[in-house]
A = this chain, B = another copy of it.
Amino acid sequence: MAIPEFELIRRYFSSAWQQAPVPELCLGPGDDAAILQMSATDQLLVSVDTLNVGVHFLPDSPPERLAQRCLRVNISDLAAMGGEPVGFTLALSLPDVDSEWLAGFSQGLAAAAREAKCPLIGGDTTHGPLSMTIQVLGKVPAGQAIRRDGAQVGDLIYVTGTLGDAAAALQVMQAGSAQLSSENVDILLRAFYEPTMRIEAAMQLRGLATAGLDLSDGLISDLRHILTASSARSRSNLGAEVNVSALPVSSAFKQVFPEFQQQVERAVSGGDDYQLCVTVPAEKARQAESLMADLSVPFSRIGEIVTGEGIQFHNEQNEAVLIHTQGYQHFADSV
């Protein structure tokens, strides 16, 4: 049986984090990152993720790209909360000492660290099946973190960049790319291995976005996280209406998935995009759009938070669109 990771953690470990609440802990497990109050003015964000060989990546994945992806994915969690990276630790398990692999991996790591201004501050290297756990630390002015639980009825839903490129990349890696130009293959592989870290964009959205996260599990799953957390906090039933015609997709993605319905399904269910998904009150929408334009960050309004439950999809003509796929879940049988 597939049990989602958050459910696993919640069920078994709730006692471990309730045992000893400390005054510094503002937000525990469940959001992209935990929040700790470090001083009157600053909060610390903490996020951790593991990638295992055979589960999250293939054994022959190029080490440089793997490192890039691993660090970027983690920094994306901080970025989604409006955090500024401070540093990261790396726990690396290696089956053997392969100098060439290590050189490539460390180069990829250094490149992503440089781009994010997020240095390696510590680590542990052990013997074992190839696995990497990265924990990133970031900071945010007290109370300004973008959490998952602040969405309200009437808020507009935005995503950055394009959706589904990582899903298209996986399709290409698994089934080949006969019909694609090498340029488009490159665009998709880069989307998968080097997802854009929306650090500056999310920092600009502090105070404007009522809720937000990065799209790791796919829009359906992740938007549900916002709805669930925000419903619980506001003690009301929040749902979402999403216009499938407004979903931003790349031309490379469209080449891989030529059918429109297929495009919609993959765009809303494909994981690993690490784009931001935020909710913004209507009266702040213009300001948010303008700030993103200044940063040249594509920022698409795809829907609205409504009273109700779940996510309803519709097209440009406001006709209901049925989605058959579910969001990505860890502990699934496939990659």
Q: A residues touching B (Cβ–Cβ < 8 Å)?
A: 1, 3, 5, 8-9, 11-13, 15-22, 24-25, 28-29, 33-34, 36, 38-39, 41-42, 44, 46-56, 86-87, 89-93, 97, 102-103, 105-107, 109-110, 113-114, 116-129, 131, 133, 135, 137, 139, 330-331
Q: How far is the CB of A64 from chain B (nearest CB, A)?
A: 12
Would you call B102 and A12 a contact (CB within 8 A)?
yes
Which residues of B are found within 8 Å of A118, using beta-carbon distances? 20, 22
- Partner among B29, B114, B125 whose Cβ is within 8 Å of the Cβ of A122: B29
Q: Which of A52, A117, A120 has the most CB of B within 10 A?
A: A120
- Partner among B12, B91, B119, B127 whose Cβ is within 8 Å of the Cβ of A133: B91
Chain B's closest residue to A45 (CB) is: B122
- Partner among B127, B128, B135 whose Cβ is within 8 Å of the Cβ of A135: B135
Would you call A22 and B119 a contact (CB within 8 A)?
yes
Which residues of B are found within 8 Å of A8, using beta-carbon distances? 97, 102, 125
Q: How far is the CB of A289 from chain B (nearest CB, A)?
A: 31
Chain B's closest residue to A28 (CB) is: B121
- Partner among B33, B42, B52, B133 whose Cβ is within 8 Å of the Cβ of A50: B133
Would you call A15 and B106 a contact (CB within 8 A)?
yes
Contact status of A122 and B86, CB under 8 A, knowing A8-B102, A38-B39: no
